Structure 1
Amino acid sequence: MSTNKPIPGMAGANFANAFDLSTLKKPTGEAVTPTHGKPVTQENLVADFVAKSKECVVILLAWSTRSAQAKEILETLGKLEIADKNTWLLGVVDIDTQPQVAQALQIKSVPVAIAIIGEQLLPLFESVPPADQVRLVINKLLELASQKGVGSAPEGPAEIPMEAEEEAAYAAMEKGDYKAAKLSYEAWLKRKPNEQVAVVGLAQVNLMLRIDGLDPVLSLKNAKDDDLTSQMMCADIEIATGNYEAAFDRLIKAVKSFSGDDRDKVKAHLISLFNLVDPTDPRLVKARSQLASALF
């Protein structure tokens, strides 16, 4: 079994989000059977997973019940395996009960995902990427494996089944019922606090509720620099119309101008707007840096 370099685009990003095993608390009870995937043990690693990689793509996820991030990515991978009709195999390494396997795979943090194709190991990610990014990674894996004569390329863009709250939120938004959509996203976050899709969805719905009924032209024209509510309202309008830089500049200026509770309020509002913009957008990167400078 040999180890290859990471596939371009599949590793090297957000590694800081993985948990070092040494920082996790020791387990307090018996290991919990994972909800998805086939458990990997020292006894079945070679026979059930390495050998199987000659027939189909195998993805191993190192996880621990002590890591909320590991549970989140396990849920995503499990749903994708089902959506792909088990054309690839998900193996789950419990680092608490299978330390020998973790050591053999040189796993030092969780969550970590590793692919095996034709007995060759390919590092995937050491983080919790968005579900759509995981979907793309698996598609690339299946295509690569197909080129090597292992399995077949993906037939089409199989989608992850939507959560019940997500379906309810979309249905409500189609009707223009943003209050109902907000309740659905809040219920989703209560059940899965780290669900990024729900975080973004809730931020979008809250934005729509805040600007509903406003006259954008008059609001921007009548804005007063010393009126915090007015400044936040204008920033909402600018974000909604795609004028991100103006919105960020406006609120960073307010962070510098106000103090105490007002300053905290505008900072929180600005951070909530950050959630609505692509993390790689240079305007957002610049604004985050400017906010840090304004605060310290």
Structure 2
Amino acid sequence: MSNVPPTPSGLRGAVDLSSLVDRAQRPATAPGAPAPAGPGAPGSDATGSVAAAGGGAEGGADLTVPSLVLDVTDQTFQDVLQLSTVVPVIVDIWAEWCGPCKQLSPILEQLTAEYDGRVLLAKVDADTNPQLVQAFQAQSIPTVAALIGGRPLGLFVGALPEAQVRDVYEQVLAAAEQNGVSGRVTVDGAVPADAAEQGEPEPLPPHHQAAYDAIEQGDYATAIQEYKTAIAQDPNDQMAVAGLAQVSLLDRLNGRTADEVRSAAAAAPTDVEAQLAVADLDISGGHVDDAFGRLLDLVPTVFGADREAVRVRLVEYFELIGTDDPRVVAARRRLASALY
């Protein structure tokens, strides 16, 4: 990724905007809009990219927004710069008549929703916001950029498939975290995801209930067997798959102290079982990235049964965390690359 939106020449899936930019000579700067950012202008870099907002990033702060997808104008852009000190903001410069934009915009909106407040999407209509078109050097649309802590980051021009756009989101989030922009926003009036449902809960299927009761009594072996039976009866029972992963983790950690596990791993850095145990400890404590990183680093160094054991444990972790979690998506991609 570059610091300035890439030039569009020769890129597929992009619509030329040069005539729009040429005829829309920049008017006087409106209140709250970004200052003119020509080459060498104050508040811009040498290439004329959009100016950064003042102040440092407020990565630990959270706030409420009307929506995760915001329609932004020349006049309201200053608000987006401020939001980018809390979460990274993806900027989508588009137009109603642009075919590639209609392919890309739903992908951007879907991914933004999936990241659940860790990123915002700012949509800029190129027809009505010439200042932002020029500030982002959007000679073709769709042009997609990011704002992190008020600073612009060029991403890509033209319509890309979902898998590639997802990779871009991961890179933006990683860059944002490195710059201390790692907050979360909530949508005004949204019901929290963990809010209790009204009414009586649905009863658990019989084997699930038996497993739950066994866990309550500390009988992990019985719980494991109940979940395995449920999966044998219905291989698509994702609740049972996740439950089996959770109780298996509890069973492996049962009776072992953190000091014992970490000491054993430190004494035998090449011992696969010792490293798996530390990863269990990390995942149980919520240190997901540490657990993933430890095992993913281990994959290229082991072979045969040891490699398969590491792979199976990672897949188990994916079920524990949730297959839609961005950390799981990134780890699954890295695992596939290491294996194949």
Sort the TM-score into its range (normalised by shorter chain): 0.3 to 0.5
Name the structure with the higher helix share.
1
TM-score for the superposition, normalised by structure 2: 0.40
- Which of 1 and 2 has higher RCO (CA within 8 Å, sep 6+)? 2
Please tell me whether Structure 1 or Structure 2 has the larger radius of gyration of its CA atoms. 2
